């Protein structure tokens, strides 16, 4: 088996009920796991944009892109890895923050440019936006204080410059 | 008009002449519209599964889209095996189901089921129609999706309130099915690889039949001196008596096909996915060979076997563009070698098995143009190995899903679509699953000769128990003493039986003559120890073909 990598698949899909089921089913049926999935409506109300993070090798990537492309509801699809893209994820994390450690946590969040969005006598909710690696690094530092609960929104990606997914001819430019 | 009338009118637009189905609560309005319209024949089956298989058989025999109707709930779920069968074999099918009205949806109402949810993985696409104004275009799109690109089933679930809602209907002309032309430039490398080949071989799959490329395959074979092997779905791609045809390849492939595949240096794969029954060991299948894959579905390219060259296109369009680029090789050592493989194979086909004698005689005695339909198991493989099919769509079998109980429904559909005699080769296991459709066949006066290979066991499973489980015959003995002749007669069909080789020709001659008036069941009492050979075990290489249980 080839080396396992992380792939970012971007897709423009019909903004209709049931589309997510059709797509997620393609993955589970083949025993592939979606690491992260983000979907939301776009500037065109008929179209949603989906960003999927898939872990696997090239074979898995090609199969999933080709299989997704076969769905009637998938209008455009591409893999972001070869492009120069901006990646963003959003994190909300509730940490235990008793008064004696509160200032330490505030110091960490300043370094990472996170925001405090809620404060209670014993807890704090922090918000951080950034590329996924930055969020990972932040979580590593904050974990020892005790994470009560957390949620990430899922990675989204846009290519830099004039390149847009909707103008892409097909995914054939990088999938053989 | 109401939604149900719109549906019937849209089916007429698409040229639908036959529907297979079963009425029920949530399709009453559709059946009422069908009745009032009166222009479409409806074949009432015994069970919705039979309707789905019949629509599938109709599509495989005619090349048109098959249509079936079922009510909500159990009616819809009974279609599932039939839809999955069509999906795995890329058969164009439109299944129409009713569902409860919008006011009852999502409340676990009587006979409510989420059939679109259930059929997502086994349809090309499916629709739930909640607005009557979307109905006509949905039906039109469904037909287009089913019959374009790689063909397949589409399901339309129509809510009850949509069927009764009034709307305007404006007729439309069906969209033409187009496949892209192939640019000869793209094929230069492929042509060079074939021209350079010393021992090229064609592996023809179901895509050859679906694209109507059969004559082009024969031209390719003639011009380049390529022998033709085929997958189960490709049977009929060239006439079985064509001199360069080596028969089926793979797990139960002929010796000639397997030897030629081992010797080949270039494999020209046309419309096939290299399933695990063909490329049993997908990693070693292509070792030392150049693989050329012509395939309309991009997702099948390199899915199971990595190709050296491929083109994503319709097989017929590709061959039209490719043939002028190929050099003519009228004679060479490879042709001689092929002839030797073939004659050695022909000698070894004399087996003395009653099942073989029945199939051989059926080929000889069936009227010209007869369609062979099979169920799944040993009899299916005997038919694939021995039944001489002379034209495309002359052999109908459940390949990918391997659906026991497929055959009788499919034979009814094939008969209804073509009016031609059908030979159904089945076993007692498969026949037992959907034998209720014999009543349907009688009602249609379908010219079907049912060759029931009755060995009292689940033959193929039992054969695997012999090969892999040391003769522990767990639950594969069916011997229940059924009197199949009486069973057939009780349903209004004719019943005959064969007990020895001496009966075969006489009985089959009578069967085909009786079949002019309706279905005939021939109980062929074969031994439970007739096996299917040659055989390559799952995951093994082609050089490990075994010919007897003892070789195991």
Split at pLDDT 50, 70, 90, the class of A43 is very high
Q: Where are the beta strands (DSSP E) in A27-122?
A: 34-41, 47-56, 74-79, 85-96, 115-119
Cβ neighbours for B507, distance < 8 A, ≥ 6 positions apart: B496, B497, B498, B522
Place of tokens 């569902």: B99
Catalytic positions of B, written as ranges: 48, 110-111, 160, 460
Residue A176: list chain B partners with CB under 8 A: 302
Q: Range with the lowest mean pLDDT among A89-103, B97-111, B170-184, B468-482?
A: B170-184
Contact between residue B234 and residue B271 where contact means Cβ atoms under 8 Å apart: yes
Q: Do B124 and A72 touch (CB under 8 A)?
A: yes
Cα–Cα distance for residue pair A92/A125, rounded to 1 Å: 7
Q: How far is A67 from chain B (nearest CA, A)?
A: 6
For B158, other C-beta atoms within 10 Å of its C-beta total 28
Q: Do A25 and B303 touch (CB under 8 A)?
A: no
Please indicate if any CB of chain A lies within 8 Å of the CB of B510: no
Residue B130: list chain A partners with CB under 8 A: none
* H helix intervals, B453-517: 459-468, 484-490, 501-514
- B414: nearest Cα among B63, B47, B15: B63
Token representation of residue B379: 């009899």
Residue of B117, B145, B298 with shortest CB distance to A72: B145
Give the model confidence (pLDDT) of B523-535 as tens digits.
Answer: 999 999 999 999 9
Cα–Cα distance for residue pair B338/A104, rounded to 1 Å: 82
Residue of A63, A67, A72 with shortest CB distance to B125: A72
pLDDT at A137: 97
**3-class SS at B31?**
helix
Contact between residue B522 and residue B507 where contact means Cβ atoms under 8 Å apart: yes
Residue of B120, B125, B298 with shortest CB distance to A66: B298
ipTM: 0.89
Split at pLDDT 50, 70, 90, the class of B175 is confident
pLDDT at A173: 45
Bigger pLDDT: B183 or A104?
Answer: A104
Cα–Cα distance for residue pair B447/B421, rounded to 1 Å: 5
Q: Which residue of B has its CA nearest to A29?
A: B121
pLDDT at B184: 86
The arithmetic mean of pLDDT across residues A94-111, rounded, is 96
The arithmetic mean of pLDDT across residues B441-452, rounded, is 98
pLDDT at A171: 59
Interface of A with B (CB under 8 A): 18, 21-22, 25, 29, 62-63, 66-67, 69-72, 176
Token representation of residue A41: 């409506």
Which of B118, B154, B189, B299 best probes binding to A when mutated, by most A CB atoms within 10 angstroms? B299
pLDDT at B26 over 90: yes
**3-class SS at B533?**
coil
Q: Range with the lowest mean pLDDT among B159-168, B216-225, B346-355, B537-546?
A: B346-355
The arithmetic mean of pLDDT across residues B61-68, rounded, is 98
Split at pLDDT 50, 70, 90, the class of B12 is very high
pLDDT at A48: 97
pLDDT at A1: 55
Contact between residue B450 and residue B522 where contact means Cβ atoms under 8 Å apart: yes
Please indicate if any CB of chain A lies within 8 Å of the CB of B160: no
Split at pLDDT 50, 70, 90, the class of A172 is very low
pLDDT at A170: 62
Residue B299: list chain A partners with CB under 8 A: 63, 66-67, 69-70
The arithmetic mean of pLDDT across residues B241-250, rounded, is 97
pLDDT at A2: 67
Give the model confidence (pLDDT) of B251-290 as tens digits.
Answer: 999 999 999 999 999 999 999 999 999 999 999 999 999 9
- DSSP string for B199-259: SEEEEE-HHHHHTT-HHHHHHHHHHHT--EEE-GGGTTSS-TTSTTEEEE-STT--HHHHH
Please indicate if any CB of chain A lies within 8 Å of the CB of B116: yes
Cα–Cα distance for residue pair A69/A9, rounded to 1 Å: 11
All structural domains of chain A, each given as residue ranges with its CATH number in brackets, are: 5-79 (3.30.70.260), 85-152 (3.30.70.1150)
- B6: nearest Cα among B172, B187, B253: B172
pLDDT at B331: 76
What is the 8-class DSSP label of residue B133?
G
Place of tokens 């995951």: B539
Contact between residue A18 and residue A48 where contact means Cβ atoms under 8 Å apart: no
Give the model confidence (pLDDT) of A116-134 as tens digits.
Answer: 999 999 999 999 999 999 9
Q: Where are the beta strands (DSSP E) in B22-144?
A: 41-44, 66-70, 93-99, 125-129
Cα–Cα distance for residue pair A2/A58, rounded to 1 Å: 7
Q: Do B297 and A70 touch (CB under 8 A)?
A: yes
- B275: nearest Cα among B401, B431, B415: B401
């Amino acid at each position: 088996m080839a080396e396992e990598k992380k792939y970012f698949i971007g897709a423009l899909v019909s903004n209709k009920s049931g589309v997510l089921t059709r797509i997620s089913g393609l993955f589970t049926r083949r025993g592939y796991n979606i690491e992260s999935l983000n979907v939301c409506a776009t500037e065109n109300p008929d179209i949603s944009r989906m960003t999927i993070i898939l872990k696997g090798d090239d074979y898995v990537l090609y199969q999933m892109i080709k299989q997704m492309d076969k769905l009637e509801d998938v209008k455009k699809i591409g893999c972001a890895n070869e492009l120069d893209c901006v990646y963003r994820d959003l994190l909300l994390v509730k940490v235990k923050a008793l008064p004696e450690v509160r200032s330490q946590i505030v110091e960490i969040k300043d370094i990472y440019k996170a925001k405090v969005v809620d404060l209670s006598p014993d807890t704090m909710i922090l918000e951080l936006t950034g590329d996924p690696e930055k969020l990972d690094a932040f979580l590593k530092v904050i974990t020892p204080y005790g994470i009560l609960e957390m949620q990430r929104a899922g990675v989204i990606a846009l290519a830099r410059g004039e390149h847009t997914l909707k103008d892409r001819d097909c995914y054939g430019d990088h999938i053989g | 008009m109401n939604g149900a009338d719109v549906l019937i009118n849209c089916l007429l637009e698409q040229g639908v002449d036959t529907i297979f189905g079963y009425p029920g609560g949530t399709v009453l309005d559709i059946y009422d519209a069908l009745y009032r319209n009166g222009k479409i024949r409806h074949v009432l089956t015994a069970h919705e599964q039979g309707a789905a298989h019949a629509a599938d058989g109709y599509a495989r025999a005619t090349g048109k889209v098959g249509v079936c109707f079922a009510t909500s709930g159990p009616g819809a779920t009974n279609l599932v095996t039939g839809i999955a069968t069509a999906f795995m074999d890329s058969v164009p099918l439109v299944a129409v189901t009713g569902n409860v009205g919008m006011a009852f949806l999502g409340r676990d109402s009587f006979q409510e089921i989420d059939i679109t949810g259930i059929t997502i993985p086994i349809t090309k696409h499916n629709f739930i129609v909640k607005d009557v104004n979307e109905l006509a275009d949905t039906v039109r799109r469904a037909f287009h999706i089913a019959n374009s690109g790689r063909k397949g089933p589409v399901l339309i679930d129509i809510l009850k309130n949509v069927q009764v809602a009034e709307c305007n209907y404006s007729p439309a002309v069906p969209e033409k099915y187009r496949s892209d032309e192939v640019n000869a430039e793209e094929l230069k490398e492929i042509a060079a690889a074939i021209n350079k080949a010393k021992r090229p071989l064609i592996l023809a799959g179901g895509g050859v039949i679906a694209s109507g490329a059969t004559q082009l395959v024969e031209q390719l074979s003639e011009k380049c001196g390529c022998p033709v092997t085929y997958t189960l779905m490709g049977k009929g791609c060239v006439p079985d008596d064509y001199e360069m045809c080596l028969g089926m390849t793979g797990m139960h492939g002929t010796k000639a096909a397997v030897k030629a595949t081992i010797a080949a240096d270039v494999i020209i794969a046309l419309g096939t996915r290299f399933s695990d029954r063909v490329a049993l060991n997908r990693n070693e299948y292509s070792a030392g060979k150049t693989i050329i894959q012509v395939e309309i579905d991009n997702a099948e390219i390199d899915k199971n076997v990595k190709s050296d060259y491929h083109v994503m296109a319709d097989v017929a369009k590709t061959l039209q563009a490719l043939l002028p680029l190929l050099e003519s090789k009228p004679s060479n050592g490879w042709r001689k070698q092929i002839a030797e493989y073939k004659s050695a194979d022909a000698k070894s086909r004399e087996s003395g098995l009653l099942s073989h004698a029945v199939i051989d005689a059926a080929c000889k005695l069936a009227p010209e143009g007869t369609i062979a339909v099979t169920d799944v198991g040993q009899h299916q493989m005997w038919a694939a190995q021995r039944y001489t099919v002379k034209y495309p769509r002359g052999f109908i079998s459940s390949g990918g899903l391997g659906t026991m109980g497929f055959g009788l429904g499919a034979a009814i559909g094939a008969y209804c679509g073509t009016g031609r005699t059908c030979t159904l080769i089945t076993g007692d296991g498969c026949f037992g699953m959907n034998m209720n459709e014999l009543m349907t066949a009688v009602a249609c006066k379908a010219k079907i000769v049912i060759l029931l290979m009755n060995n009292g066991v689940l033959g193929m499973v039992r054969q695997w128990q012999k090969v892999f489980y040391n003769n522990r015959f767990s639950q594969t003995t069916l011997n229940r003493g059924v009197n199949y002749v009486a069973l057939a007669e009780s349903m209004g069909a004719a019943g005959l039986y064969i007990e020895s080789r001496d009966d075969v020709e006489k009985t089959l001659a009578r069967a085909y003559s009786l079949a002019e008036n309706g279905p005939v069941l021939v109980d062929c009492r074969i031994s439970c120890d007739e096996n299917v050979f040659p055989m390559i075990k799952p995951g093994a290489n082609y050089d490990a073909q075994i010919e007897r249980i003892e070789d195991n």
